[in-house]
A and B are shown apart, each in its own frame.
Chain A
C-alpha cells in the first residue's frame, strides 16, 4: 500500500508546469493558469489597440447590437435588414430584454439559378441583461430602414441623484 502511494506521489512531483518567468513550480491543477495569464496579457495589448480586437466582436449570436446610454435612457440598436415588424417580437422586464423573430427571404421562382448567395434567413432570439433597472412600461421601439432602435428609460431608482452637501 505504501509502495503504491509512494509511486503516485512521485508521479505528482514530476508533473510540473513550465512557466515563462521564474522557476518551475509544482502544480497539480488546473493546467489553464498559464493560458489565462497569457490571455490577460493579450487583453492588455488589445486595450492598447483601442479596446477592440479586430474581427472578434460580439457573442456570435444574431443580431449584433450596439448598446449605449445617456443619463435617462439606454439605447439599443440592431441591424435587421429585411425583417418586418410582424416578424419581430420584443419582450422586456425591469432588468431583461429579449429580441426574437424571423428573417424571411423573398420567395424565389423554382427555375431561378443563383450566382451569389450571401444573405441568410432564419429565426433568431437574443436576450440581454441590462446593467441597471429600466421601466418596461415606457419602452419605445422603432424599426426603420432595417435598423431597430429601442429606447429604454432607466428606472427612477437607477438614475444618479445629486446629493447636496450641508455644512
Chain B
C-alpha cells in the first residue's frame, strides 16, 4: 500500500535564529531551511520563505557575506480568534560566507511560491589569449 519511493512529509519545526542581532522591533526570527548544491558552473541556494513577497525580501552581499532577510505580513484580521495554532509567524534571516570563487556581479535571485532560488555563478577561468606586443 505504501509506495516506498514516495515518502510522507513530516512537519519540521521552524528553527529560531540562535543569537540574532538586536532588533528595533519585537518579533521572532526564524532561520529558513536551505538547500545548497554545487555544480561545475555555479552554486545554487534554495530557501523556504513562505509568506515573504519579493518586495519584503532583502538579499545583501558585502565583504563576501551573503545575508538573506525576509519580512512576513501578519495574517490575522482584527476579529479573528485562535482555535488551533501550530506554527508561528516571524521574519526570516540567515547569513552565509561566500568563497571568492563566486562571481558576485552575476548573482541571480528569484522568489516564487515562497521559495527563493539564488544562482551564484562561479568565476570563469580566464580564457587563454595571445597578448599583442607594441613597440614602446
Contacts and interface: CB of A to CB of B under 8 A. Distances in A.
B81 A69 contact: yes
Most buried by B among A71, A77, A80, A108: A77
Contacts of B13: 55, 57-58
Interface in A90-141: 102-103, 105-106, 108-109, 111-125, 131
A64 interface: yes
B23 interface: no
For chain B, the bracket of interface size reads 35 or more
Contacts of B12: 120
B102 interface: no
B113 A115 contact: no
Interface in A35-93: 52, 55, 57-71, 74-75, 77, 79-84
Instruction: Report whether over half of chain B's contact residues are helix, strand or loop; otherwise say mixed.
Output: loop
The SS class assigned to the A binding surface is loop
B30 to A, nearest CB: 11
Counting chain B CB atoms within 10 Å of each CB, which of A62, A75, A83, A118 scores highest? A118
Contacts of B6: 102, 122-123
B33 A119 contact: yes
B85 A66 contact: yes
B39 interface: yes
A146 B72 CA distance: 12
Given A114-B37, A146-B49, A146-B51, A64 B81 contact: no
Nearest to A79: B50
A13 interface: no
B88 to A, nearest CB: 8
A58 B86 contact: yes
Nearest to B87: A64
Contact of B80 (A60, A69, A103): A69
B46 A119 contact: yes
A114 B51 CA distance: 26
Interface of B: 6-13, 33-40, 44, 46, 48-53, 75-77, 79-87, 113-115, 117
Interface of A: 52, 55, 57-71, 74-75, 77, 79-84, 102-103, 105-106, 108-109, 111-125, 131, 143, 145-147, 149
